[in-house]
Amino acid sequence: MLKALRVITCAAVALGFATGCTSVEEKRGGSGGALYFTDFSDAARTGAFSPRGDGLWTVGQVSFSGYYPAQLAKKYGYRGRDERDAPTAVGQLSKVSNISVPGYVQSREKVSPGQNPNLLNVLSPYTLGDFTAETAVVFYSGRASNYDDAADRERSIELRRRAGAGMIFRYQDPNNFYIARTGGENGIEIGKMVNNQYTSLKFVETERLENFLAPERSAVLRVVARGSQIDVYVDNNLVARVQDGTFPIGQVGLTTFRIKAAYLYFALWEDFGPNLPYF
């Protein structure tokens, strides 16, 4: 297993990629918690790894219903009657309703001509090969019931077909990385950017994301990378698997594609298996 590398001294953080680093050290999360975890309640820590000029990332309260880790729901005092344990998957999820927690919001939908529409934010300072990463995402604008004009209608159709949010991983620089994200109303997209040229590795439709672009609905996304194998889970269910060895190691973070979205937490482990602790 490839060890994690933690940035000790960096001159700058730009576009989510640390430069000018003078030293690294090995570090593991161990059984006591994730290697890296944030629920965005500490805005100062989150902001330290915000990219410059790539999206409009802010921290604020997010209200939602859907799946969410029971350990985090308990932290925020949530008491629900409809809970589901998932002992055979990573983490335990509860089905929550109308809960409000801190979230990391990316509110830009449109990008400038020639700009990569995958807006990136590398949160973790660690460089990893094999890992488990998890987040929960909520969309703000996927399905509009009313249209002001024909252009609005076309925009809504385009969002339903393609827009999404998820994670980037084994990130080298803004032009080289893997991506795993939702795609449209009910799809999961796994792809890679190589020298700023995008290749789709797999797109699958899944009932786990049916009508997912409805506002304020959460879904828990997890990426497990082991060697050349990449697995993507939705709400503790394996939905896609690919094999690709282009990038053996890199950083991990978040991304949106032509949509406003909020992330409810971000966890990164160097371990695998059921019920990995968040903290």
Domains detected in the chain:
4-269 (2.60.120.560)
Q: Where are the beta strands (DSSP E) in 44-146?
A: 57-69, 93-106, 118-121, 126-127, 131-139
pLDDT tens figures, 145-160: 444 455 555 555 455 5
How, if at all, do strands 118-121 and 261-269 pair? unpaired
The model's pTM: 0.78
Hey, what's the torsion of the CAs at 226, 227, 228, 229, to 10 degrees?
A: -20
Give the C-alpha separation, 37 to 134, whole Å.
10
Q: Where are the beta strands (DSSP E) in 34-117?
A: 36-38, 57-69, 93-106
pLDDT of residue 141: 54
- DSSP summary character for residue 208: G
Task: List average pLDDT for each run of 10 residues in the chain, which is 279 residues long.
Answer: 40 32 35 81 61 68 88 81 44 82 80 70 88 90 45 52 84 94 82 94 78 72 96 89 97 87 92 79
Give the C-alpha separation, 11 to 74, whole Å.
38
Residues 6+ apart with CB under 8 A from 249: 2, 127, 128, 129, 170
pLDDT of residue 135: 94
pLDDT of residue 86: 41
pLDDT of residue 22: 25
